[in-house]
């Protein structure tokens, strides 16, 4: 379960920012996670409170926005929605899509005290 290490990384980042930006508590943590990021959202939600215990992120509300997949077609030079990692181009049917969004995972913003 790599979601545990993801949570540890998030909490470490929040601790570091708390020291440099002088806040004592994270009230709301907003994440953006891509459809193809390979993250089990429920496992992340399960692990986060455990990892955050005793830190500035303890009791933080976690909001997750799922980022849909889009790809760029090298053949017809257009953007297409991707329902699966290896989707075909919706314009020309080509299999040559390069993922342009949907693999990201980032802290979008935080509300702090």
**Do the strands 97-101 and 69-73 form a parallel or antiparallel pair, or are they unpaired?**
antiparallel
Cβ count within 10 A of residue 97: 23
State the Cα–Cα distance between residues 23 and 51, nearest whole angstrom. 19
17 labeled binding residue: no
DSSP, res 84: S
73 labeled binding residue: yes
89 labeled binding residue: yes
7 labeled binding residue: no
Beta-ladder partners of 111:
28
47 labeled binding residue: no
Output the known binding site.
Answer: 2, 73, 76, 89, 92
Output the known binding site for Zn(2+).
Answer: 73, 76, 89, 92
Output the known binding site for Ni(2+).
Answer: 2
């Amino acid at each position: 379960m790599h979601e545990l290490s993801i949570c540890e990384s998030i909490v470490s980042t929040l601790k570091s920012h708390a020291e440099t930006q002088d806040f004592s508590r994270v009230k709301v943590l907003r994440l953006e996670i891509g459809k193809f990021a390979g993250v089990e959202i429920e496992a992340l939600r399960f692990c986060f409170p455990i990892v955050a215990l005793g830190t500035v992120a303890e009791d933080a509300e976690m909001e997750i926005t799922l980022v849909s997949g889009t790809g760029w077609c090298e053949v017809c030079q257009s953007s297409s929605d991707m329902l699966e990692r290896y989707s075909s181009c919706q314009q020309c049917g080509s299999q040559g899509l390069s993922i342009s969004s949907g693999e990201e995972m980032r802290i979008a913003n935080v509300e702090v005290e």
